[in-house]
Amino acid sequence: MARYRGPVEKIERRFGVSLALKGERRLAGKSALDKRPYGPGQHGQRRGKISEYGMQLREKQKAKMMYGVSEKQFRSLFKEANRIEGNTGANLIRLIEQRLDNVVYRMGFATTRRFARQLVTHGHILVNGKRVDIPSYMVQPGQKVEIREKSKNNVQINRAIELSNQVVAVPWIDVDKDKKFGIFTRYPIREEVVIPIEERLIVELYSK
């Protein structure tokens, strides 16, 4: 299935949680979810019962939408998470957090993961001094991710960095916002990744 390109705030209202799909509006407290905390459409305020399968599917859809990955990419990440030793759900979150577009977002160089993905595909990002234009590139501990020299005065990037000062930095990444680079120091622990996702339900869904 192609990546969703419609109105993202409608998606957040449908799920009833912020998925960080909006940048400035979200940080300014002006998102549609803040104003209308119920589903979109004529019957949006009605909350019907949802089956166990529906809950599992809902969590997978939330995760895919939040991180901006396709079904094929998500399934591939799950298979890798299941192969790695340890808790499959925690492994899945760790792997998806390693994606380059997500790391750029976590460093505060973009207000949304969608914008971060755009920065990567347009060649604005370097990894260990080399341009990488693949959003799904898996960043490894110790690698340096930075804005290329020609893009350091980009207005949108600088605005994102300014706004990111409102957000608490994640402990597995060290960032120098003045010099516009960061180091992915280690793999994140699941408890450190604050997201509205219950990965246990996703594991149950794919394990059927």
Query: What gap in Å lies between CA 108 and CA 191, rounded to an integer?
Result: 20
Do 19 and 66 lie in a common domain? yes
Report whether pLDDT(35) > 70. Answer: no
| Inter-CA distances, 173 with 8, 38, 109, 168, Å | 27, 35, 13, 12
State whether the Cα torsion 186-151-161-117 is positive or negative: negative
Query: What gap in Å lies between CA 102 and CA 114, rounded to an integer?
Result: 9
pLDDT digits (tens, 9 = 90+) for 92-107: 999 999 999 999 999 9
Task: Write down the residue that tokens 């804005």 correspond to.
Answer: 147
Q: What is the number of structural domains in the chain?
A: 2
Q: What is the pTM of this model?
A: 0.84
Do 18 and 77 lie in a common domain? yes
Do 60 and 104 lie in a common domain? no
Which domain range does residue 186 map to? Answer: 99-190
Query: What gap in Å lies between CA 87 and CA 71, rounded to an integer?
Result: 21
**2 domain-assigned:** no
Q: Give the CATH number of the domain where residue 29 resides.
A: 1.10.1050.10
**178 domain-assigned:** yes
Do 113 and 73 lie in a common domain? no
**29 domain-assigned:** yes
Do 13 and 67 lie in a common domain? yes
Summary mean pLDDT of the chain: 87
How would residue 4 be classed by pLDDT, with cut points 50, 70 and 90? Answer: low
